[in-house]
Amino acid sequence: MDTFGHIINGFNVALMPINLWYTFLGCFMGTIIGILPGIGPAAGIGLLIPITFGMDPTSALIMMAGIYYGAMYGGSTTSILINTPGEASSVMTALDGYQMAKNGRAGAALAVSAIASFLADTLGIVALTLLAVPLAAIALKFGPAEYFCLMLFALAAVSSLTGKSAAKGIISTVLGLMIATIGIDLQSGQPRYTMGVPELQDGVGFLIVVVGMFAIGEVFSNLEEHIKGKAEIIRLKGRLWLTREEWRRSIMPIIRGGLIGFFKGVLPGAGATIATMLSYTVEKRVSKHPEKFGTGMIEGVAGPEAANNAATCGAMVPLLTLGIPGSGATAVLMGAFIMYGIQPGPLLFEKRPDLVWGLVDSMYIGNIMLLILNLPLIGIFVRILYIPTGILLSLILAISAIGVYSINGNTLELQMALMFGIAGYLFRKIDIPLAPMVLALVLGGIMEQSFRQAMTISGADPKVFVGSAICIILLILAAVMVLLPVVLPRLRALKEGPEDLDS
């Protein structure tokens, strides 16, 4: 069957009643996770993976992806209504969105962010559909050396772009790679760094780290914020729609934001958060009234919201075609793929076209569902915000326990998750980004494998890593990524602000 046939056939998979139901469930839970202040997409996916045990992998992944883009979609609500971004990628939305809400235009702000998200998402999925096949075809030509260089580049990009300091990003990455080496070495059968603990023989479970660092660690940070005091919720007033004037002002920012977002999303490390900042800066620059930004300009909501969601789709491109996630949340998504025994990457397009295209096509459908969930029904979801924070955070801790325990039924793993939680809390305090570590943990095993395979093929000659043009280009790009923040301090201005990317 040709590619076009596969894409059409994907709709057959995505439109199966059971998969429609899981798309809906994923989008629904994603919206809630996006709205909940204490929990981001990465933690949300990690916590909800246990629900899908025993499900068909295609359905499970359709639901997981729904949680991912649903959470990115829903993150704007809290930015607008309580000036508390649900995710790092909605920080820019809060600048003008919250002001709009204070000016009595909360309905318009929510509407424009839902419409911008919908349009940009659709644009992003079309681009994903078009880009996936040629990219996967190129990736099929990659040998182990090329793969190793590609992963090195992805890790370098994420390390240097996610935090305020490149050095801290690299420390986070290397720690993740080190955790990935714990357990029995697959090629020699030697246990490494297990300290005689039998639970460590299979390595440190991915979910333990994700739930610990993102869910438990995030709750600890939030508890601290909670004790400090809390924000006031602005009640939803007025019609959830735009005036003709607001439409006219929003459409170009949506298109520009969508394009910026998609390309930033495809590149590793850049991701949604930086795309939103870039879009906001662009809108401010092209506007005739840049001084009014920050006082409730609808352009400042439309652009970043479009960028945020297009980047979400863009981030699916390297994940599906190369098997290399570019952010914390997509790394967790990849972890979910691997838990179902599915290795994302170019081969998947040949082996399981039904799964890949079923998943991509389900995003078209999920996107429509999200528009409905976020426009007419947003008033219902907003009620979640009235749950007292103290209760909400306590419940997330209990849910974390269920999530970790359900994997192996082991309480030692619960204690390990708690330790990662404390580590995650501390890392946030000292500005070490978490996304590079999780990404490194997911890629670590594959990275070492390709490193050793390449060296085996070359007879332990390290020149293999500069043996092809692709390798050399990727290595140069990786070096540029690490050196860029040092050489170009001007870029720092762009990165100041949110501490965490796409966590």
**Chain residues in the site for other proteins (CB under 8 A):** 50-51, 53-54, 165-168, 170-171, 174-175, 177-178, 181, 185, 187-190, 192-193, 216, 220, 223-224, 226-227, 388-391, 393-395, 397-399, 401-402, 405-406, 409, 411, 414-415, 418, 421-422, 425, 430, 432, 448, 451-453, 455-456, 459-460
What are the structure tokens assigned to 174, written together? 């290397």
Nearest distance, CB of residue 383 and other proteins, angstroms: 15
Q: How many CB atoms lie within 10 A of CB 205?
A: 22
Q: Which SS3 state, helix, strand or coil, does residue 181 take?
A: helix
Contact 204, 412 (CB under 8 A): no
Nearest distance, CB of residue 445 and other proteins, angstroms: 10
Instruction: CB nearer to other proteins: give 68 or 148.
Output: 148
* Beta-carbon contacts of residue 286 (< 8 Å; ≥ 6 apart): none
Instruction: CB nearer to other proteins: give 365 or 396.
Output: 396
Instruction: CB nearer to other proteins: give 357 or 465.
Output: 465
What are the structure tokens assigned to 443, written together? 């890629």
Nearest distance, CB of residue 424 and other proteins, angstroms: 12
Nearest distance, CB of residue 197 and other proteins, angstroms: 13
Nearest distance, CB of residue 168 and other proteins, angstroms: 7
What are the structure tokens assigned to 20, written together? 């429609």
- Cα angle at 266 between 265 and 268, to 5 degrees? 85
Q: Rounded to 5, what percent of the chain is helix, strand, coil?
A: 75, 0, 20
What are the structure tokens assigned to 249, written together? 């002002």
CA 241 – CA 12 distance, rounded (Å): 34
Q: Which SS3 state, helix, strand or coil, does residue 230 take?
A: coil
Q: HSE (CB half, 13 Å, CA atoms) of 225?
A: 16
Nearest distance, CB of residue 181 and other proteins, angstroms: 5
Nearest distance, CB of residue 259 and other proteins, angstroms: 34
| Strand pairing report for 191-192 and 183-184 | antiparallel
Length of the chain: 503
DSSP per residue, 246-298: HHHHHHHHHHHHHHHHHHHHHSTTTHHHHHHHHHHHHHHHH-S-GGGTTS--T
**Which stretches of 36-100 are assigned E, i.e. beta strand?**
none
Contact 295, 331 (CB under 8 A): no
Positive/negative CA dihedral, 221, 330, 382, 63: negative
What are the structure tokens assigned to 229, written together? 């005091």
Contact 177, 190 (CB under 8 A): no
Nearest distance, CB of residue 234 and other proteins, angstroms: 22
Nearest distance, CB of residue 286 and other proteins, angstroms: 34
Nearest distance, CB of residue 392 and other proteins, angstroms: 9
Instruction: CB nearer to other proteins: give 350 or 461.
Output: 461
Contact 439, 173 (CB under 8 A): yes
Contact 211, 82 (CB under 8 A): no
* Beta-carbon contacts of residue 381 (< 8 Å; ≥ 6 apart): 31, 32, 35, 74, 77, 373, 374
Nearest distance, CB of residue 203 and other proteins, angstroms: 13
Nearest distance, CB of residue 166 and other proteins, angstroms: 7
Smallest CA-to-CA distance from 90 within 277, 269, 327, 246 is with 277
Contact 212, 418 (CB under 8 A): yes
